[in-house]
Each structure stands twice: as structure tokens, then as C-alpha cells.
Structure 1
């Protein structure tokens, strides 16, 4: 008989290597794949904890300016400012045209800022330090009561690396943590610069996060606090998962119809083979898009919004704070928890949060000043922009509600000449969302396939239950079957005393011979 050709030997070695890679990647990375699938099922219904929006609006007390406020000297042009109370402390927050935000204590006009230990020297600037925990305790209490929590709150210190704030903006300064002794076990985090509730969890939401979002995103604080390491670990693991799935699909296709039946395998090997061929493409889609959510190499990474989206909000008049204060003094019967000022296309306006938590758009004299499409179109023209304004009463392709995120309507969508879309709140006129080329690409290439929600009907709770959940369950079955096969392989390769078996002394089952 003629000896096999060198090309045939090479092909056999490649096939053998592919089988070995699939086997050992399944043993090492397969556990992570199973974890991703199981936690993904949880995340269909339970997302990462976030503060309750309605309760957050009720957290601040009614603005109290009975003692004459001391306004700071404002030397720059400002895009917006905000009046609110941090506990018993009246605050003025300003935002420059460059986006720099500063809080001022109106009791003395000084800047509220991080202490020198956090990177700033309050003594040299003449600024005050952070608000005290007692200053903002009332805000924490009001938020807790608005959510039905009547427990006693205990201050637990300033936190920067707690599990629940790792992705919260501003955590470098730290947040005040308050724990409730109620049955709900609430944990609240408040900003020491503004008194805002930046994060809130309950015992229930933390449980679901530990079995859902945290394992799915590899989000334990011990790893997440090292941002680059966390990103690299996810990229490497998901990349290995892609190789594992591709090899599995290739091997499964090769072994199809190679015996007397559709599959040469039996029992759990048969299940892994057939289910892998049926649902492996979906598994590959999910792992590839999960890999791309990390924006490897900067692919579709988020970029700064185009200049025109901020130019639409012009500088406020220099006397705007004085005008607002005069209006508040003239209307002592008007009570606001929050009052924001901005200027859309050169037309100043206020957005007030009333004592009952409702919001209203006002002019500088506190009269109702509703936003219209004509006003938005005029603002676009007056700032020299080329854009098309559309009023939306329901979801579109990029601005839509999900089970975890409720979008407000109506909104005004401004589409610039560069194709970038800016969504404005239909009541206040404040910006909600910017969709540029990278965001559109992410929607269609990454998040649409990954979340399986391209169409509105796919986002319905019933559809998630009767379509998405069974598909995800089937994909999980593929991973679980592979995990059991890998575990059996490891057990068989180890003797009773923990030493490796001599393969020549054992005869593997017929189903496993196909993998050899």
C-alpha cells in the first residue's frame, strides 16, 4: 500500500489540532461561556441597579433663599446653571461653554470642591471643601421615603471603589454612602458636591446583579477598579470564545452524516453536536458582538459629539442669575426643588422641578414657556446650522424604550447635515441623546444583534418570554452539554489517586472515539 502523501498527513495533523483546541478551549473557556449564557437570561428581566428617577426628583428640598444668597463672581460665559438645595445648603451649579461644571455654596459664595487630599487645594483657592455628610443626609432620607423605605440611615463613609459605583461618573471624588436598616436593605450613594443621589440599590436588586450583570460583565469591583486590565480580560476571554465556537461549528459540520445516522455521536455528545449546529450560529453572533462591545482597537468607540450639537445651546445672558433671583423673590408662592437655566438658539429658558416632582418649562419670569417645533427650527436657523427638525411621539430606530429604560415623549430630533442626530426633550428642550456614525454602527453591528431587539415587537415583554428566552435557553444547552463533556474528559484522564490514566490501558466509549 502506498504511503500517505505529505499533504494528507498535514491535513490530518491540522484536523487533530482543531479537535484538541476545541476540546481544551471548551474545558478552559467553556465555563465562562456557560456563565455568560445563564447571566444573559437573568438580564432579559433584571438590569444593573439605577436610582429611581421620580424619587431622585423628590430628594432635594424646596429651594430656600430666605437668607440672602451670596452669589459668586462669574467671569466666564456659561451654557447653563442650576439652583438646588443639598440638604440645607443652597447651591448654584454652573456649566461653562467648554463643559466645566462647578458648584458654589450660596451661603458664602465659595466653590464646593474636593479636598486637597483628592487632588485640589482648597486653602490656596479660598474654596470650601466637600459638603458634609450631615449636609446631604436629608436628601438621602427624602429619597428613601419616596421609594417607601422608612428605615434609619447610617453613614458609612466616602466611597470610591464600592461594587455599585464602579461605572458611575464622578466616583474619583468619592460618594457618601448611607445604609438603611429596613427590610429592603437600601444602600444610597450621594454626591458630596451636589447632594444628588447617584446610585441606589436594594437587597433584591443587588441579588439579581450578582447573578446577572456582574458575572455577565465580569464586574466584581476587585477587577473593575483596574479599567484596562478588566477590558483586556474581557477581550481575551470573549476572543477565545469566538475561536471555540468557530472550531465547534467547523467540526460539527465535518462530522455531519459521517456514519449511518445524521450524527456519529451518542447521548450527550449527540445533543452537543446537533444543538451546536442548530444554535451555534446564534451563539457565535452573541459572543462576537459581546467581544465588539469592548471596542477592541477603538472599533466603533464613542467619540465626542460634533460641535454643532453644543452650539445649539448658546451662552446665557450675564444677568440671568439676577433675573431668576428677582423672579423668585417676586413669586414667594412658587416652590421648586430644582431650577435649571439654559439658552436654546439664543432664547433663555428655565426648567423647574416643582415641589410635587413634576417639571415645567418656564421663561425667566417663571411663566409657562412650552417648547414648539417652530421654536426648535428657529433655534437651528439662528445658530447658523443646517438641520432638519422632526417631532417624535413614539420610538424610532435609535431612541426607544426597553424593559430597563423608559424614554420620554414627545422628543424633537434634529438631524444635521453630517447625518448626526440630536434628540431634545419635548418638554424642556434639554439634550437627551446624540447619535453619530459610531453610535449608528454600534446599534446595527453590535447592540442590535447582541440584545436581539432590532424591531419594536422584539422589545415587547411577551416576545422576550416566548421567543428570545427559549433561543437563549437553547444556546445555553449547547454550552452546558459541552461543559459536561469537558468535565467527563478531565475526570477520565485522572485516576482514582489523582494521577493521569494510561490511555493505552483504557478504552474510551465509542462516542468519544470520534473526538480522538
Structure 2
């Protein structure tokens, strides 16, 4: 047998047995993917969180930032004044450590009890919280690494307009996730099934990770071999004896061949991009060693001044159209700023000049450029203000996997001339670096996000058209895998029958 014949035979065998082994899994992936177009994995978006907060009012007796312990104020990532457990409180986060202090007394708030968690959940949901808050470290809806600083969590059942479960931080008492009952039910045939989360035991689970990687790789090989076999079996010139271009007369085989030829490119790229979503072997991870966010933030100011007085900050921005619900203090270039947010996620930036607070809606682009340059020793070769989405920085709907990420405009885009061609997007409204991408991450964006969900900004603007297109393609993939499932079942049944005889 020639080498060509041997390769051809093995291609047929690989497609046959990998197809039989993976057709049901791929069928579930396509079907659950269609559900995910409408119902996403539970998450708490910034808009949902801010909309549930009460207004910051009646500032009598509120303590300034100086009330926080010196050790806490030295190198915090962020200091936030919000409402916790029914009172104003400072939340301080530094690395993986997080704590809360009363803005009335300056004392550290006691550990969150089950009863306090129920109060927080009821205030968030706007309905009753059922008694019996359950402490847990992790469950099927809380695998996100972003929840690690809040663990263990309290799961509280709530009523109201959207009955379900609310998850409360045991560190601070703030709500960190909501999972309405209807969303949970759809997720069992949506994201939870799609991501094989019934196999995932914890947020960092190497067994689950490599199981998904191996299964995705095998299904990718099955798809590639199917494309090759489908082309080999199609008569581009002439016809088979039956007068058809395909040799298959049995209906299931015939439809599998025809649908495969029409949808093969989508099926292959969709399965392959699912594999790429797992970032196998860290191929899309840059070191980012050239960036130093601490240099961008600068030194902690010795005297914060009037900007550290919450009463003064709130008085400077409060209007009938802008009712603050949260104050977030930032350091940029060694200066302290207050970013004030209302329940609609609108924001104001306050700076102090000569003991007077100045209010604006964004940082100045020229001033911010000088601070961004400090992030890296590499030359800043580009600094652009974007007024609209580009191919890497764009908002997604809440149901999308990254739908909770902050993506607003205008935003500053800074390109550094380092080994990884690092790009940073900095929010002009808050001064936060929102997205950092090296060359590898940009490649991953195309091999995963684009191929998997066709999320170009131009297509995202055509929401209904993109949705219909993805549904039709997913239906074609579902039909292809359904025919493969029937064919595989018949072959296995025939094989077992022969063995029995």
C-alpha cells in the first residue's frame, strides 16, 4: 500500500472514530452556544452594582481618609467610600487583602455574619432575603478569580422582581454576584454546560483545564479531517453512477456530507477558537514585565488635604441630576483624585488646586500622557484618544462572557516600543488602566474572540443581523453534529451486533 493510500486511510479512520467519540459533545457545544447568545453566565455588572446602592447623604460626623490606619493608607490599590450594612464605610483593597472601616467611627467593621449578609442581599435585591445565608468558598456560579479576595462568600436566597441567589463578601459585606433563578435554569443548558463546568471543582482546576483542552483539540482534529474527507468524496468534475456529486445515497450520510461541505469552515474555526479560549500552554500570555503600574500611580501624598474630606467632595458634585452613591480615590502621578459615581454609572473627577476642589468629567489628555509614560522605560511611540470602539477595545452586551468589563469612551490608547509591543487603554473618566495587551494577547483576540463570536465593532453595531447570522451558522453546526450522532450510533450498534453474532 502506497504512502498516499495509507495517509488517506488513516484520515478516514481518524475522522470516523474521533467523530463518533466527539459528535455528542460537539452537538451539546453548538446547542448550548445558541443559548449563550441570549443568556450569559451569572455576573454583577458595574451598572447593576451602582444602581442598587443608596445615595450618599447626611455627611454629618463622617470621618476623613486620615481615620484609616497608617498601615492601610500606605500602599492601597483603591480606597472606596460606599454603603455597607446600612452605613457609610471605607473599603480598602491592596493586592489580595481587603478590609472595611466605618466612616462614622473609623473602626474596622466586624466580620460579616449570616444575618448581616441577609441584610445586604435584601437591600440589593429590593425584596425579602430568606433566612439561612449559606457560607461557601465556591460553587457552580462563583468560579471567577475576581471573587477570590471576597472568599468565603455567603449565598443568600432573595425574592423581589428577580428571585434567585445573591452572593455577599465575607470580608466587607458588599454584594459581589447575583444569579437570578431563571438565569440559573437556562445556564444548565447554556454556559454551565458549554464550559463543562460540571467537571470544574474550583477556580483554579488544572484537571478541568486540561480536560477541556484535550477534548477541544481532539474535536478540532475531527473537524479538520472531516473537511479533508468531505472534499475528497465530492466529485468536482463529473458524477457518481447515481448521477450525484456525493457518493452517499443513505439519507443521514448524504446530509452529513452536504451540510459538512457548507458549514465545515465555520465548524472548524468555531471548535478551534474554543480551544484557543483556554490559552493552551500560555501561548497568548505576555510577561508584561516592562510595565510598572506603581510608577504610574506615584508616591502616596503626605497630606491629602480637602480632597480627603468626603463631605467636601460630595458637596462639590451633588446636583439634582447627579446624586453620588460612591467615591473612589485614585493616585495618578503622585496626586490624589476623587472619582465620584452615581447610580447610572456616570462619573465626575475631582482635583484639588490651592485648597479648592475642581470638578470635571475626565482627565486631561495631555496631562495623562505624561503619567502614562512613567509606566515603562520603553519609549511611548503612540498616544491616541479614541472616541469610538476599535478592534481590541469595545463594549459587549451583558450576556457576553466579558460583558461586565468597563468599556467607555473617550479612552486613551498608549503604545509602547517594548519587546512585546504593549498597548494600554486608560479610562479618561477614572484614570484606570482598563486593558493591557501585548502582541500575544492581540493574536489571541483574533484566534479566540473573533473566530468564536464574530465580535468586530462593525458587526456588534448590527446586533440583530449578527445574531441571526450566528444562529443560522450554529444551527448548521448543530445539524452536522446531529447527523454525525445518528451515523455514529448506527455504526456502533452494527459493530456490537457483529461481535454478538
TM-score, structure 2 normalization: 0.83
The alpha carbon displacement at 1:401 in A equals 2.1
CA apart distance, 1:64: 7.1
- Equivalent residue, structure 2, for 1:86: 84
Which secondary structure does the structure 1 equivalent of 2:476 belong to?
helix
| Unaligned stretches of 5+ residues in structure 2 | none
1:456-475 equivalences under 5 Å are 456-457=458-459, 460-475=462-477
Q: Find the structure with the greater CA-based Rg.
A: 1
1:262 aligns with 2:245: yes
Structure 2 counterparts to residues 333-372 of structure 1, below 5 A: 336-354=324-342, 358-364=346-352, 366-370=357-361, 371-372=363-364
Contact 2:286 2:438 in 1 (8 A): no
Query: Is structure 2 residue 174 aligned with structure 1 residue 196?
Result: yes
Q: How many residues align?
A: 469
Q: 3-state DSSP class of the match of 1:164?
A: coil
1:58–1:377 Cα change, 3 Å = same
Shift of 1:355: 7.0
Residue 30 (structure 1) aligns with? 23
Q: Distance in 1 between matches of 2:161 and 2:313?
A: 45
Q: Which residue of 2 aligns with 1:273?
A: 257
**Structure 1 CA distance for aligned equivalents of residues 312 and 359 of structure 2:** 17
Q: What SS is found at the alignment partner of 1:312? A: helix
**1:220 partnered with 2:198:** yes
Which of 1 and 2 has higher RCO (CA within 8 Å, sep 6+)? 2
Change (3 A) 1:429 1:249: same
Shift of 1:235: 0.9
Segment drifting more, 41-50 vs 400-409: 400-409
Match of 1:229 among 207, 231, 238: 207
Alignment of 1:81-480 (within 5 A): 81-88=79-86, 90-95=88-93, 99=95, 101-106=97-102, 130-145=111-126, 150-171=127-148, 173-182=151-160, 184-220=162-198, 223=201, 227-257=205-235, 259-260=240-241, 261-266=244-249, 267-301=251-285, 303-304=287-288, 306-320=290-304, 323-326=306-309, 328=311, 336-354=324-342, 358-364=346-352, 366-370=357-361, 371-380=363-372, 386-387=379-380, 388-404=382-398, 405=403, 407-418=407-418, 419-457=421-459, 460-480=462-482
Determine helix, strand or coil for the equivalent of 1:368: strand
Partner Cα distance (2:344, 2:278) in 1 = 41
**CA 1:94–1:29 in structure 2 vs 1: closer, same or farther (change >3 Å)?**
same
SS of alignment partner, residue 207 of structure 1: helix
Other-structure match for 1:116: none
On the 8 A contact 1:300/1:442 being kept in 2, the answer is: yes
Residue 164 of structure 1: CA displacement?
0.8
Q: What are the ranges of 5 or more consecutive residues in structure 1 without an aligned counterpart?
A: 1-6, 113-127, 503-516
CA shift, 1:233, in A, is: 0.7
Contact 1:223–1:229 (8 Å) recurs in 2: no
**Counterparts of 2:314 and 2:457 in 1: how far apart (Å)?**
48
1:251 and 1:86 map into 2 onto residues whose CA distance is 62
Which one is further off, 426-435 or 353-362?
Answer: 353-362
Residue 71 in structure 1 maps to residue 68 in structure 2: yes
SS at match of 1:363: strand
Maintained 8 Å contact 1:79/1:314: no
Q: Give the aligned partner of residue 125 of structure 1.
A: none
3-state SS of 2:263 partner = helix
Partners of 1:157 and 1:45 in 2: how far apart?
29
Q: Is the 8 A contact 2:390 2:457 kept in 1?
A: no
**Bigger shift: residues 21-30 or 63-72:** 63-72
Using the alignment, how far apart are the partners of 1:228 and 1:111 within structure 2? 37
1:40-98 Cα distance to aligned partner (Å, 9 max, x none):
222223222222433311444537765565531237344542223321455434455xx
Give 1:50's aligned residue.
Answer: 43
